[in-house]
């Protein structure tokens, strides 16, 4: 039986230094904490561990059992977990157990279960819920206790206090403005309501889709790709706007008249945006090539092949749109010439890709070995 005190209440309040091993030593430690702080649930956790020890000892279900307490550090996290790991090793050195039954009072202490299972299997768990007497459990006491727990958790504090505080702040400012500008009360009210709903929705959206983590990934590991995506979008947007504004002049150049139908206008627009579209893809692929080269990603051969295929894509879009406009036919010399260019480009991209694939085959292995060294 292993009682866990991750935030070291035993040390802070009762001066008990872990690990504590043995029934009598554990009872003495629990008594010290109970006298120092009768409301602390960690003492009840240790009493529960001792009680479970007595029950299993009486039933004789195991050959040999022991009860122990390990304590962490007031700075809950890496520091406390390192201390718990060190104390657990001392306990196992003195009593080499085949299994452990952790006894805790909540999810915080249970976060060290992976540390325990890395050394000894957990055969059962026991969580202690402390019951309050009716005379103590007043409404004020319950509210105070929960508010204290919420304030100690930064994430919970943002939700339970941050959002309501922001709403009250905005509403208070709006009320002050409405006093001075009474004729604009309706406008101010609508604006404040919209701002509040927007901020709340934005907060939940960011949390649900982990926008912060995604942006962090973009600006650390994928910044080059992020820049290339933005640049490609701007190139495509500029090309689309230019083709739309000059649609009539493009039509006069291609077919010698204005487009008479919407379908004809769409085909002419696709032909006009062809260069910008392929250029945007080129910017995107160049970003991937640079990113792969700097990270020694062996897939760089794939991106270079894709970059080399872009001329064939441009020819394909150009020929198909011109064919749709009845400007070229399958039997014309221009169609044959552009077809040869496209197939030649595809062959070149394939050969270069095959060559580079063999050259950079070891990049991924080198990177993996470097990361594990």
Within a 10 A sphere around the Cβ of 132, how many other Cβ atoms? Answer: 12
Q: Examine the pLDDT at 169 and tell me if it is beyond 90.
A: no
Secondary structure of 335-355 in the HEC alphabet? HHHHHHHHHHHHHHHHHHHHH
Query: How many domains, the chain?
Result: 3
**Are 296 and 250 in the same domain?**
yes
**Are 225 and 345 in the same domain?**
yes
Preceding amide of 19 cis, omega within 30 = yes
Distance between CA atoms of residues 174 and 66, nearest Å: 64
In terms of C-beta density within 10 A (0-12 exposed, 13-18 middle, 19 or more buried), how is residue 13 classed? middle
145: in domain: no
Q: Examine the pLDDT at 35 and tell me if it is beyond 80.
A: yes
50: in domain: yes
**Are 115 and 172 in the same domain?**
no
**Are 122 and 226 in the same domain?**
no
**Are 172 and 222 in the same domain?**
no
Q: 3-class SS at 162?
A: helix
Which tokens is 229 given? 């995506």
Which tokens is 319 given? 């020929």
Domain boundary among 88, 111, 127: 127
Q: Which one has a higher pLDDT value, 119 or 153?
A: 119
Q: Which one has a higher pLDDT value, 367 or 335?
A: 335
The pLDDT of residue 273 is 93
**Mean of pLDDT over the chain:** 83
| pLDDT band at 368; cut points 50, 70, 90 | very low
Q: Examine the pLDDT at 4 and tell me if it is beyond 60.
A: yes
Which among 311, 313, 316, 301 is positioned nearest to 350, based on CA atoms? Answer: 301
The pLDDT of residue 372 is 38
**Are 202 and 295 in the same domain?**
no
| pLDDT band at 40; cut points 50, 70, 90 | confident
143: in domain: no
pTM of the model: 0.44
% the chain with pLDDT above 70: 83
| pLDDT band at 182; cut points 50, 70, 90 | low
Distance between CA atoms of residues 85 and 162, nearest Å: 35
297: in domain: yes
The pLDDT of residue 112 is 85
**Are 249 and 312 in the same domain?**
yes
Q: Would you say the C-alpha torsion 299, 305, 308, 310 has a positive or negative sign?
A: negative
Q: Which domain holds residue 163?
A: 154-209
- The answer to whether residues 126 and 103 touch, using CB atoms and an 8 Å cutoff, is yes
Q: CA separation (Å) from 255 to 64, 250, 324, 325?
A: 95, 9, 11, 8
134: in domain: no
148: in domain: no
268: in domain: yes
Q: Examine the pLDDT at 241 and tell me if it is beyond 70.
A: yes
**Are 289 and 191 in the same domain?**
no
> What tens digit of pLDDT does each residue of 186-234 get?
776 777 777 777 777 777 777 766 777 777 766 666 778 888 989 999 9
Q: Examine the pLDDT at 318 and tell me if it is beyond 80.
A: yes
Q: Which one has a higher pLDDT value, 167 or 113?
A: 113
Which tokens is 290 given? 């640079």
Q: Which one has a higher pLDDT value, 202 or 340?
A: 340
Of 152-166, 195-209, 342-356, give the range with the top mean pLDDT: 342-356
CB-based burial, 213-250: b 16+ in 10 Å, e otherwise: eeeeeeeeebebbbebbeebeebbeebbeebeeebeeb
132: in domain: no
Domain boundary among 111, 127, 143: 127
**Are 105 and 252 in the same domain?**
no
**Are 222 and 368 in the same domain?**
yes
Q: Examine the pLDDT at 283 and tell me if it is beyond 90.
A: yes
> What tens digit of pLDDT does each residue of 94-138 get?
999 989 999 987 766 778 888 999 999 998 888 776 655 444 445
Of 144-158, 229-243, 245-259, 318-332, give the range with the top mean pLDDT: 229-243
**Are 278 and 358 in the same domain?**
yes
Q: 3-class SS at 5?
A: strand
- The answer to whether residues 83 and 101 touch, using CB atoms and an 8 Å cutoff, is no
Domain boundary among 209, 224, 244: 209
Measured distance between the N- and C-terminal CA atoms of the chain, rounded to whole angstroms: 38
- The answer to whether residues 100 and 119 touch, using CB atoms and an 8 Å cutoff, is no
The pLDDT of residue 135 is 47
β-bridge mates for residue 4, sequence order: 70
Q: Which one has a higher pLDDT value, 3 or 137?
A: 3
**Are 77 and 204 in the same domain?**
no
Q: CA separation (Å) from 34 to 13, 110, 148, 163?
A: 10, 22, 20, 38
The pLDDT of residue 10 is 92
């Amino acid at each position: 039986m292993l009682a866990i005190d991750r935030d070291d209440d035993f040390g802070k309040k009762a001066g008990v230094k872990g690990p504590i091993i043995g029934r009598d030593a554990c009872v003495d430690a629990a008594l010290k904490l109970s006298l120092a702080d009768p409301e602390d649930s960690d003492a009840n956790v240790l009493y529960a561990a001792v009680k479970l020890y007595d029950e299993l000892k009486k039933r004789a279900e195991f050959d040999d059992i022991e009860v122990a307490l390990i304590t962490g550090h007031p700075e809950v996290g890496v520091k406390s977990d390192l201390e718990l790991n060190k104390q657990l090793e001392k306990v196992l050195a003195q009593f080499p157990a085949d299994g452990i039954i952790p006894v805790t009072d909540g999810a915080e202490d249970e976060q060290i279960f992976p540390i325990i299972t890395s050394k000894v299997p957990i055969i059962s768990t026991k969580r202690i819920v402390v019951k309050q007497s009716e005379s103590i459990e007043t409404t004020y006491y319950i509210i105070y206790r929960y508010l204290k727990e919420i304030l100690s958790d930064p994430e919970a504090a943002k939700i339970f206090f941050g959002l309501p505080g922001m709403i009250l702040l905005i509403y208070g400012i709006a009320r002050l403005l409405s006093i001075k500008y009474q004729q604009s009360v309706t406008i101010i009210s609508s604006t404040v309501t919209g701002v509040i709903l927007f901020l709340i929705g934005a907060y939940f959206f960011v949390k649900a889709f982990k926008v912060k983590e995604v942006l962090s990934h973009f600006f650390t590991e994928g910044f080059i790709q992020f820049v290339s995506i933005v640049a490609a979008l701007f190139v495509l947007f500029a090309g689309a706007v230019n083709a739309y504004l000059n649609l009539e002049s493009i039509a006069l150049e291609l077919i010698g008249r204005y487009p008479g139908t919407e379908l004809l206008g769409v085909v002419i627009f696709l032909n006009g945006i062809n260069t910008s579209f392929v250029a945007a893809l080129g910017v995107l692929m160049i970003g991937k090539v640079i990113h792969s080269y700097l990270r020694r990603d062996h897939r760089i051969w794939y991106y270079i092949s894709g970059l080399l295929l872009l001329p064939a894509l441009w020819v394909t879009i150009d020929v198909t749109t011109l064919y749709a406009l009845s400007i070229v036919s399958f039997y014309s010399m221009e169609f044959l010439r552009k077809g040869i260019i496209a197939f030649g480009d595809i062959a070149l991209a394939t050969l270069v890709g095959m060559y580079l694939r063999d050259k950079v085959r070891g990049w991924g292995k080198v990177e993996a070995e470097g990361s594990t060294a």
